[in-house]
Structure 1
């Protein structure tokens, strides 16, 4: 069963555009660098992201969003709990964020 992770980010005010671009590029690069420990295949099936453009006014300060799709729940578990590239990225990201929201779901399962 596929799993989807939605990550919303609000960067700290002092973070400059070049740092934000670097983080965003790094997030997208996780697809190539986060590999299954036994198969060597990518843990991430797809990843996309961008700057918020909503006109609804309910972003709560979030400015950037990433949607990451995993083929299986196990791939998502390894990515979140074991993958060293993901952990390193999260450490870099934590110093730059004012707020972050992460929600995982299985499509169609309510």
Structure 2
């Protein structure tokens, strides 16, 4: 029975997964319905949290992608994160084809860089 469950689960996974791109994220974030706005904010916050934890796990500011590192202020709001990321994608059209989490990382790094030697809160 377990083998059948594993086989069915494997078939349910798509054969090719396309990455969510910066332009797709921006398109989602420009929609005005509540569900899209919530999904946009949740995606950006989740990606920011994942990026932060990944970089922290590989050595923080000594990691390989220091230029993509960011330090969010403790009082930052979800809408600020969304606005910053959307502006970054808009100002840097080449980013629109990047993976959405990369666009988020670059946008947050530009808006909220860590001061030299600063550790994130």
- TM-score for both structures, normalised by structure 2: 0.29
Q: Going by fraction, where is strand more abundant, 1 or 2? A: 1
- TM-score for both structures, normalised by structure 1: 0.31
* Higher RCO by CA contacts (8 Å cutoff, separation 6 or greater): 1
Q: Which has the larger radius of gyration?
A: 2
